[in-house]
Amino acid sequence: MPNTLSSTPRTGPLAGLRVLDMSRVLAGPWSGQLLADFGADVVKVERPEVGDDTRGWGPPYLKDAAGEETREAAYYMSANRAKRSLTLDISKPEGQRVCADLAARADILLENYKVGGLAKYGLDFASLQARNPRLIYCSITGFGQTGPYAPRAGYDLIIQAAGGFMSLTGERDDLPGGGPQKGGVAVADLMTGMYATVAVLAALAWREKSGAGQHIDLALLDTQVSWLANQAMNYLVGGEVPGRAGNAHQNIVPYGVFPARDGHMILGIGNNSQLTKFLEIAGRPELMDDPRFKTNTLRVENREAVVAIISGITAMRDLDDWLAELEPAGVPSGPINTLDRVFADAHINARGMRVAIPHALGIVVEHAGNPIHFSGSPVDYPRAAPLLGEHTEEVLEEWLGLDGEAIATLRSDGVI
C-alpha cells in the first residue's frame, strides 16, 4: 500500500538514525515510538496480513473520514506513531534475507521474541553483527536471556505479580476491597520500554567512543525489580516485608486520598512546613502542638489517628474551596481527575500533551503527547500509527535500493 502522507525531513535529536522495530505488543513498540518521536526513522516489521497483535485489541477502533469503523485499534495506535510499517514474512528464506539486509543498514534493532527465537532465522545478534558491527541489538523478554526462567514467556500482569509490584498495590487485606492489584496501565511493559530507550541511547554514546555496537539484554522482571525503588530499599535495609497500604505512603503522613465534602482530594504533605500551612488554612493550627503531629516519624507511628483527624477536617469543605487556598500556599494537593478532565485541562493542553496527528486514512487523530521538551531539537509527530504495510515499497526502495520488479516478485512470492 503506498504511503498517503508526504514525507517530511525529521529534525529531532535522533534524525538520521535507522531503527528496525521487530517487536510486538507494548514494551518494545513503546521504546520504538520514543525513538521515533526523537526523529529516528523507525521501520516496524510486521507479519503480512496480520501485523502486530494489538491491531486487533479493540474496541475502540479508529473511525475513517466517513465515520465508519476501521480495524485500526486505539491500543495499537498508542505505541506506534511516527513509524513506518513494512510487512515481511521472516519464516521464508527470502524474507530472512531481506530482514538481514535491512539490519545491515540499521543503527538499532528492537526485538521481543522468545530467547533464541530469531536464531533459527539467522537473525540473532551474532549473525547480524557479523555483517554490521555497529548494530545496537536490543532484546526484550519477560525474564532475560540467562537464568532459570529465561525460557518462560513474560506478560505484564505476570511480571507485576512476580516482581512484587502487586504485593505493594491495593488496599490492605483487612479493609473492604483489600487484596493485590495491578496498575491501571501496563506499568511493567511501559517501564521496560523506557529502560530500553535509555539503554539504546547509552549504547549509541558508547558506539561514538568505540565504533562498535552491542547486544542489550533487557528483561521485564529485572526492570520491575529495579524500580521498586524505596520499597526495595526499605526491605533490604530494614528487613521487614512491606505490605499494601492503599493510597497511603509507607514513609509519609498525611499523604494520600482524603474526603472532601463533594468528592475526594489528594494531600501529599511531606514536611512540617507544609503541614503547618495546611493546619493554618484549615483553622486548626493547634494540632502542631499535638505530640502525634510534631514530626513525620511520630505521624507515621500514629498514622490511623492522624489520618482520621485530617479526614474529618477535609470532609468539611468542597474540593475547589480547598484547592483555591492550598495551591497558592504551596501545600501539595490536587483533584483526582478522570481522563475526560485530564484532556480538557488547560495546563495539559498548554504543555502540548494533547496533540493532533495526521493519519493515512485522511483524518487527524488525537494522541497523548511526548512529555519531553527539547529547546533545540523539539519532538515532532509526522504521522499517526501506520496502516499495515503502508510503507513496504517505500522502505525497500530507500533502504535496499530495490526496484519495482524486485518488489513485485517479493509480493507475488508472499514474502511481503
Give the DSSP letter of residue 371. -
Q: Which helix (H) or strand (E) holds 156?
A: helix 156-162
Residue spans of alpha helices (H) in 26-147: 27-37, 74-77, 93-104, 125-131
d(CA 301, CA 251): 10
Count the helices and strands in the chain (H runs, E runs).
17, 13
**Rounded alpha-carbon distances, angstroms, from residue 32 to 36, 141, 144, 362, 400:** 6, 15, 19, 24, 21
Q: Which helix (H) or strand (E) holds 62?
A: strand 61-63
Instruction: Say if CB 18 and CB 44 are below 8 A apart.
Output: no
CB within 8 Å of 3: residues ≥ 6 apart: 84, 360, 390, 391, 394
Q: Which helix (H) or strand (E) holds 300?
A: helix 296-301
Q: Which helix (H) or strand (E) holds 346?
A: helix 346-350
CB within 8 Å of 210: residues ≥ 6 apart: none
Backbone angles phi, psi at 246, to 5 degrees: 60, -130
Residue among 21, 156, 189, 380 flagged as catalytic: 189
- The verdict on whether 289 is a catalytic residue reads no
Query: Residue length, the chain?
Result: 416
**Rounded alpha-carbon distances, angstroms, from residue 23 to 32, 53, 238:** 9, 10, 40
Which of 33, 34, 54, 58 has the alpha carbon at shortest distance from 44?
33
Instruction: Say if CB 44 and CB 52 are below 8 A apart.
Output: yes
Q: Annotated active-site positions, please? A: 189
